[in-house]
Amino acid sequence: MELGGIHHVSAITANAEKNYDFFTRILGMRLVKKSVNQDNTSSYHLFYADAVGTPGTDMTYFDIPRAARTVPGASSISNTAFRVKSEAALSYWKERFTQHQVHFEDVVERFGRKTMYFEDFEGSRLMLVVDDGKGVPYGIPWTKSGVPEEFTVVGLGHVTLTVRKAEQTQLVLTEVLGFKKVGSYPSFVAAMPDITVYSTGDGGPASEVHIEERPDLPLERPGRGSVHHVAFRVKTIEDYDRWEELLRTRGFMNSGKIDRYYFKSIYFREPNGILYELATDEPGFATDESMETLGETLALPPFLEPRREQIEASLRPLTFNE
């Protein structure tokens, strides 16, 4: 019963239109699902991924137009990485980000890999990481984005958790979720502990959680651009049932089983308050749309379909530039 790595990362935007432009026109990802927040159907939920919506490639955003500015701090998912295949890709992205006036920083090495920090228009803290392909397989490049195939984003990389005290967060990763500590690297903040790296599944950036201990920071005040939760991959429905039982027997308050239609989920918070989701790889995003038309219309799971007219009336108009 081993987790397969990162399944998806979900964040908040206050401007779905500009968010769409950034992730599709600049970052070259595919909108594979336009749906609603199933817990608040007056809000859109947008899913960006590789060409076919492979688990482990999707970054999702809840559209909350009145979301305040994020104040970074502890008890947060402070960075989300995206994988590219080569250092040459980083050179390409430097030029592309410059062309599109995207804030980015110089290439630096983290845990033996070349990385490049960047931000979207709302200050989402993101990163490109070079992945040699020896761990979790690459996603399938989306070739209709204008980004050369050899330089495309091929999936999510590691997430960084920033916490005041790391010990309990580390214990949940290792003793409950089955991650293994695989190393560390120096913090980029003077006098702070090394950043520790935990891995599961096939290994590589897509399987990793990096923990940054920052006792000097206040708690994050989340808003636009902040990450709501990280989901980890559950390989089979049988494993999903076992994970629910394990969390219950270990005394973790959790959501219980929730059918999100495109995957099945369980949510719980780790000791520093960060929200985790365990999500199944199956059935996937092509359940209610053809692979060719993913993301083109408002998709609703069957239990919301009878309310489509009401839901569409409650949503603000959303027009993407094509």
The DSSP string of 131-169 is --SSSSPP----TTSSS-GGGS--SEEEEEEEES--HHH
Query: What pLDDT score was predicted for residue 272?
Result: 97
Q: Which residue positions in the chain have pLDDT lower than 70?
A: 322
Q: Where are the beta strands (DSSP E) in 156-244?
A: 156-163, 180-185, 195-199, 208-213, 227-234
Structural domain includes residue 130: yes
Structural domain includes residue 1: no
Query: What pLDDT score was predicted for residue 321?
Result: 72
DSSP H helical ranges for the chain: 16-20, 87-99, 167-171, 237-249, 308-314
Instruction: Count how many domains the chain has.
Output: 1
Query: What pLDDT score was predicted for residue 319?
Result: 81
Query: What pLDDT score was predicted for residue 322?
Result: 65
User: pLDDT digit string (tens) for 211-227?
Assistant: 999 999 999 999 999 99
Structural domain includes residue 301: yes
Provide the 3-class DSSP secondary structure of residue 279: strand
Structural domain includes residue 322: no
With CA atoms as reference, report the closest residue to 42 among 19, 59, 13, 65: 65
The CATH number of whichever domain residue 61 belongs to comes to 3.10.180.10
Structural domain includes residue 159: yes
Structural domain includes residue 60: yes
Query: What pLDDT score was predicted for residue 77?
Result: 98
In one-letter notation, the amino acid at residue 29 is M
Structural domain includes residue 319: no
- C-alpha span between 234 and 55 (Å, rounded): 10
- Number of helices (H), then strands (E), belonging to the chain: the values are 5, 16
> How many C-beta atoms lie closer than 10 Å to residue 44's C-beta?
22
User: pLDDT digit string (tens) for 145-172?
Assistant: 999 999 999 999 999 999 999 999 999 9
Domain of 19 in residue numbering reads as 6-314
